[in-house]
């Protein structure tokens, strides 16, 4: 496959990364994952805005402008002949003999790839989840490469035969290991507010827009594990999973084990937007 290395297009084997890269040493870098529908990048501007914010929060100087990056990523998609897929790219602070403080004069390192991701036309299958303690740091709003808390929770889910782990800090539900979590109660959507405890998902924000069109109220607030388990419906949102129902949490079945009516309306509305994007 063709990869992006800085602003060059290389074969994957040619994309050499320095062993002293701070991405390896500290997870000192940021990333984005962007969905491609029919060769078109979905919500690219929102992803770029979030990348710029992540960079600013880590005081990492982006080596390319959002416009240059967008052009290169479009080209990456083209060169790989991706129809429906996913672009992943990351930017580390650069390579230097290991020291904790920022080394002077290093160049940030960008690497990116694009791969096929087939979209399931039937989006109504629900997933199962476990609950897991949210042991991550206190800046989950930054999309950094440091994902060990997410990795361990996801593996705990897989080890117990579940698809996902829903994280909670004390009694408060925060998000999933790579998704945001919504509950539906009495016709309203409730999801954690966008503060330092969660990543403000692009899909989360897109669902806010869909809900507005559908006149479904959205409330951003803390909600508890008990509220989660007593919800009428639960769904997750992410670039890869779009809107996906959660129908089991631990031993408890949610919404009779199927995607509920409000989740289905959102899935249908989301698919309509995807069709629009596909049409170009």
Residues labelled catalytic: 143
Nearer to ligand PMP, 94 or 201 (CB): 201
Nearer to ligand PMP, 10 or 156 (CB): 156
Cβ pair 153, 189 in contact under 8 A: no
Cβ pair 85, 117 in contact under 8 A: yes
Taking the complex as a whole, the smallest distance from the CB of residue 168 to ligand PMP amounts, in Å, to 14
**CA distance linking residue 223 with residue 15, whole number of Å:** 44
Binding mask 148-187 for ligand PMP (x = CB under 6 A): --x------------------------x--xxx-------
Taking the complex as a whole, the smallest distance from the CB of residue 230 to ligand PMP amounts, in Å, to 23
Among 88, 111, 93, 89, CA closest to 6: 111
Beta bridge partners of 238: 242
DSSP character string of 172-233: EEEEESSSEEEEEETTEEEE--SSTTS---HHHHHHHHHHHHTT--EEE---BHHHHHT-SE
196: its two tokens: 């330092």
DSSP-derived pairing of the beta strands 127-133 and 164-169: parallel
Nearer to ligand PMP, 108 or 176 (CB): 176
Angle at 232 between CA 226 and CA 235, to 5 degrees: 90
By CB under 6 A, which span of 8-16, 158-166, 235-243, 250-258 interacts with ligand PMP?
A: 235-243
Chain residue whose CB lies nearest ligand PMP: 201
Q: Which of residues 6-35 bind ligand PMP (CB under 6 A)?
A: 33
Nearer to ligand PMP, 111 or 239 (CB): 239
Quote the DSSP letter at residue 102.
Answer: P
Taking the complex as a whole, the smallest distance from the CB of residue 27 to ligand PMP amounts, in Å, to 14
Nearer to ligand PMP, 8 or 139 (CB): 139
Cβ pair 51, 30 in contact under 8 A: yes
Among 80, 111, 237, 244, contact with ligand PMP (rule: CB under 6 A): 237
Among 93, 112, 142, CA closest to 9: 112
Binding mask 114-153 for ligand PMP (x = CB under 6 A): ------------------------------------x---
Binding mask 51-90 for ligand PMP (x = CB under 6 A): ----------------------------------------
Using rule CB under 6 A, residue 238 touches ligand PMP: yes
Nearer to ligand PMP, 7 or 220 (CB): 220
Binding mask 187-216 for ligand PMP (x = CB under 6 A): ------------x-xxxx------------
**CA distance linking residue 48 with residue 180, whole number of Å:** 19
Using rule CB under 6 A, residue 274 touches ligand PMP: no
**CA distance linking residue 239 with residue 155, whole number of Å:** 20
On the CB side of 116, CA atoms within 13 Å amount to 6
* Interface residue list for ligand PMP (CB under 6 A): 33, 150, 175, 178-180, 199, 201-204, 237-239
């Amino acid at each position: 496959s063709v990869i992006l290395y800085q602003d060059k297009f290389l074969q994957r084997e040619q994309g050499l990364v320095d062993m002293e890269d701070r991405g390896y040493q500290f997870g000192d870098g940021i990333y984005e994952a962007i969905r491609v529908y029919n060769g078109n990048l979905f919500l690219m501007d929102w992803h770029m805005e979030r990348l710029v914010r992540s960079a600013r929060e880590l005081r990492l100087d982006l080596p390319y402008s959002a416009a240059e990056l967008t052009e290169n990523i479009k080209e990456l998609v083209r060169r790989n002949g991706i129809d429906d897929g996913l672009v992943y790219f990351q930017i580390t602070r650069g390579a230097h003999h290991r020291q904790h403080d920022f080394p002077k004069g290093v160049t940030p390192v960008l690497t990116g790839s694009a791969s096929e991701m087939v979209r399931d036309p039937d989006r109504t299958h629900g997933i199962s989840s476990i609950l897991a303690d949210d042991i991550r740091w206190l800046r989950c709003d930054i999309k950094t490469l440091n994902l060990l808390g997410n990795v361990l929770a996801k593996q705990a889910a897989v080890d117990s035969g579940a698809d996902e782990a829903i994280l909670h800090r004390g009694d408060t539900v925060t998000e999933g290991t790579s998704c945001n979590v919504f509950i539906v109660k009495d016709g309203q959507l409730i999801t954690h507010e966008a503060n330092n405890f969660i990543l403000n998902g692009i899909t989360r924000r897109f669902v806010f827009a869909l809900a507005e069109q559908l006149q479904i109220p959205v409330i951003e607030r803390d909600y508890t594990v008990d509220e989660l388990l007593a919800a009428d419906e639960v769904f997750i949102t992410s670039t890869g999973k779009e809107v996906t129902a959660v129908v089991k949490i631990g031993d408890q079945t949610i919404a009779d084990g199927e995607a509920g009516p409000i989740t289905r309306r959102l899935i249908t509305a989301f698919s309509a937007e995807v069709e629009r994007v596909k049409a170009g």
